[in-house]
Amino acid sequence: MASLEPRSNNKVYIVLGLFGITIIIYEIFMLTPGIPKLYEIIIIPVGKGYDLATLLYMSGSAITAFSSFRVAKKYIGSAMFTKAYFCLGLGYSSWFVGDLLFFYDDYVQELPHLIIPLLPDGEKTFIVRPADFVYLGIYINMSLHLYLNTNWFEKNKLKIFKKKAETKFFLFGVPAIGAVIYFTQYGTINFESILGSLNAVGGAFTLGLVFWGARVFKASSLAPAWTLLLLGIFISTVGDFLYYQVEDFNEVFGIYSFSITCYLLMYMIMNYGLYKHMKIL
């Protein structure tokens, strides 16, 4: 039996390598001069037209939500796991619905939105769009998934403020550091978008839960599947950071941005992790 584990690990590395090759090929098609860009190939001619790159990206959250709900269904009867994976499915459903609203607003027609002044004279404002509210559901549900799973397996199931110092750092220190990094970019306080700021802090909080989960699950029988899920969520937080760098500070964002590459890689790893999880059940 001991010889089976290296083979299983080798298979995981091979699959992750194939994911990496896929991403490299994607980048080649996106960046190489003379090759038709995926975001220039119109598939659905509505409004400005939905391009192939956008549809590939949007399919990732839909497929991941479906896979999460399948795992939740497998766990029917469990006191906690059904809720945990249902939350994960809701998180990726929020991602998909948010993208639907975001790209509809961008490609078809502008949806109703709020314009809120940052200064009394109204010189600086930020826009709150429907997608911004929906995207908050990503971090709420993903954090619930991570917390429910990790707290269930942690030996010390104490209340949050009675946990070990290391756990408190993951739950509070990492989000605080993420918030400081986000709000003090380039030596200035950034309040360009309050909802964007909440999303960024939500991503940092999720990252803290990932570190906590990695510590708790390192000796578990679910470690291979959970490591993939944690890796996927970690990559998504990297993509979030890159996205908010572009959106809030450079104001140049497109489907060709590197954050989208991170999200595509994350979707592949998450679905592979969920597949591995179902195989263990």
CA distance 61 to 21: 21
Q: Are 85 and 273 in contact (CB under 8 A)?
A: no
- Distance between first and last Cα of the chain: 19
Q: Are 274 and 70 in contact (CB under 8 A)?
A: yes
Confidence of residue 113 (pLDDT cuts 50, 70, 90): confident
pLDDT in tens, 142-169: 888 888 888 777 765 556 656 677 777 7
CA distance 48 to 105: 11
Phi-psi category of residue 156: left, alpha or beta, with phi > 0 → left and psi -120 to 50 → alpha: beta
> 44 pairs with which residues across the strands?
50
Q: Are 121 and 78 in contact (CB under 8 A)?
A: no
Say which residue, 52 or 64, is predicted with more confidence: 64
Q: Where are the alpha helices (DSSP H) in 154-257?
A: 165-168, 174-183, 194-217, 223-244
Q: Give residue 56's Cα distance to chain centre.
A: 16
Confidence of residue 118 (pLDDT cuts 50, 70, 90): low
Task: Kindly list the distances between the CA atom of residue 66 and the CA atoms of 106, 235, 269, in Å, as whole numbers in the listed order.
Answer: 26, 20, 15
Confidence of residue 2 (pLDDT cuts 50, 70, 90): very low
Say which residue, 250 or 57, is predicted with more confidence: 57
What's the pTM value of the predicted model, to 2 decimals? 0.82
Closest by CA position to 199, among listed 213, 178, 174:
178
Structural domain boundaries of the chain?
Answer: 4-280
Residue 274 has pLDDT above 80, yes or no: yes
* Pair of tokens at residue 32: 């190489």
**CATH class, 4-280 region:** mainly alpha
Cβ neighbours of residue 2 under 8 Å, at least 6 residues apart?
A: none
Residue 251 has pLDDT above 60, yes or no: no
Q: Are 39 and 52 in contact (CB under 8 A)?
A: yes
| DSSP run (H or E) holding 145 | helix 130-153
* Pair of tokens at residue 212: 């906590």
pLDDT in tens, 7-56: 566 788 888 899 989 888 888 877 777 777 777 888 888 888 888 888 88
- Give the pLDDT score at 191: 46
* Pair of tokens at residue 135: 């995207």
Q: Are 263 and 239 in contact (CB under 8 A)?
A: yes
CA distance 262 to 274: 18
